[in-house]
Amino acid sequence: MECPHLENSVRIFSVPVKCENNPPEFSCSVCVTDNSPWICLSCGVVYCGRYVNGHAKDHHEKTQQHSVCMDCHNLMAYCYICDEFVINDTTAGNLDKLRKHLESLSRLKPTLQTQRLVVGLLDDKNGENGPRSSGLRNLGNTCFMNAVLQSLSNIQHFCGYIKQLPSLEDKIIKCRKTQIKKTRESGDTVLLVEELRKTLVSLWQGSKTSISPESLFSVIWKVVPRFRGYQQQDAHEFMRYLLDRLHTELLQLLPYPNSNSPFIGPKGKSTIVTAIFGGLLQNEVICLICGMESKKHDPFLDLSLDIPSQFYSRTNKPKEGETVCKLADCLESFTDVEELEESELYMCSNCKLKQRSTKKFWIRRLPNVLCLHLKRFRWSSHHRVKVETFVDFDLKGLDMSHYVLDMLVGSSAGSNLYDLAAVIVHHGSGAGSGHYTAYAVHENQWYHFNDSTVTACDIETVLKCKAYILFYVRREIRLPDYLRLPTNGAVS
């Protein structure tokens, strides 16, 4: 947003260095942490940011005029009065000068933060075969996008397929005759899949500790106007819009054959989106008056699960002897028989009247990647509140057999078993605020993706997080031949 407080608050455009070849190592002047250092642009003192100990905010509250600070890592400026990241600059261009100054310092010698990041990314063989994923810079409350992109980039078959696509820029002229949405500004066709391809390739080149997804975010603004601006957005909504748009574009860009396989999308065709994330629900409604049964099949890319209300008060992992909310509780709540409310009376085709009825979901076809969204935000009176309940989830061997139609339960051992690949976490209490990070596993090592910072972590850290979106990969991936990678599908 355009901040009106810059001229009165921004006074510095450089920081002192101890010697020519030794750039400053930024750390909070209060708690000495070097995690998320924010420099006050009025006095030049460094404090920790919003999601550490909040000493930068404390400094602003004590000195009201010191309202603007800059993240020393991703170089985004933030105003505490506006409570937003800012996109404008002072008349003298002080923000731009400071960014260039900090960038020049970072090129002299890696800071402690950069050194720790490299150690987190490389293995004992100096990274020869280790993970090479970069971080994603926060462009101003874009952590919701970064968390989703990092999760998808660690879904091996999905990321590998998108990365190996040829450049689709030459398809733009042909696409102008299709139904792909055109921007109002220029009339040119916008290809989200092409920008996603470039972003995923850059993420795994390993040449930078972090990259800026500006081009991808710009395209997202154009194709999905609701995500314009720098306000916080819901990561689950963004993921759904992203996957739906990718599916639509790929159907029109690439020559997918008609298919009789179970991985069917619209018009009898399947893209990598539906082949990886697509499943099928069976919705059974039974009239309680005459017993008439109605069945309907609904495709899905993810399942949204309620957290059972009896666990709402549990904000932390229960102590020994206390009942813990498990992922199985959420799945069973989703598939349990429930009686429809008076406002949802079912029009019975036999009775010819709206009657009381029950509803039950079965999973008719499981996806290759099972995406589970935990409904952590619910309406209370006139505002949304967050359900802070800790949900215990499986790391290995999530068995979905209990939720699949009995007649369709697979006979092979791995057909209904899933292993966790990524988790998105929402930090904070508000639906329209807070911060998103992601955990993902690569070659048996878990990593924490916090915007531009990527650090190795242990399994216990992952299992303690309050999951918002969980990505489980099927042990037996089933893909139609025309969507299989030419190699073993490894991300590189």
Sign of CA dihedral 109, 114, 116, 119: negative
Quote the tokens at residue 430.
């508000």
Report residue 98: phi and psi, to 5°.
-65, -40
Residue carrying the six token digits 């002897």: 321
Q: Could you tell me if 38 and 52 are in contact, meaning their C-beta atoms sit under 8 angstroms apart?
A: no
CB 174 within 8 A of CB 168: no
357-365 and 398-399 as β-strands: parallel, antiparallel, unpaired? unpaired
CB atoms within 10 A of CB 421: 19
Query: Positive or negative CA dihedral for 310, 311, 314, 319?
Result: positive
Q: Which of 3, 40, 69, 143 is catalytic?
A: 143
Distance CA 436, CA 177 (A): 38
* Whether 471 contacts 420, CB under 8 Å: yes
Q: Is 3 annotated in the active site?
A: no
297 is catalytic: no
Q: Out of 55, 66, 426, 435, which one is annotated catalytic?
A: 435
- Per-residue tokens: 114: 């950069």
Token couple for 313: 């008060």
Is-contact 101 15, C-beta < 8 A? yes
**What number of other Cβ atoms are within 10 A of residue 445's Cβ?**
16
Q: Give the residue ranges of DSSP H helices in 316-434.
A: 327-335
C-alpha 385/C-alpha 229 separation (Å) is: 23
Q: Report the catalytic residues.
A: 143, 435
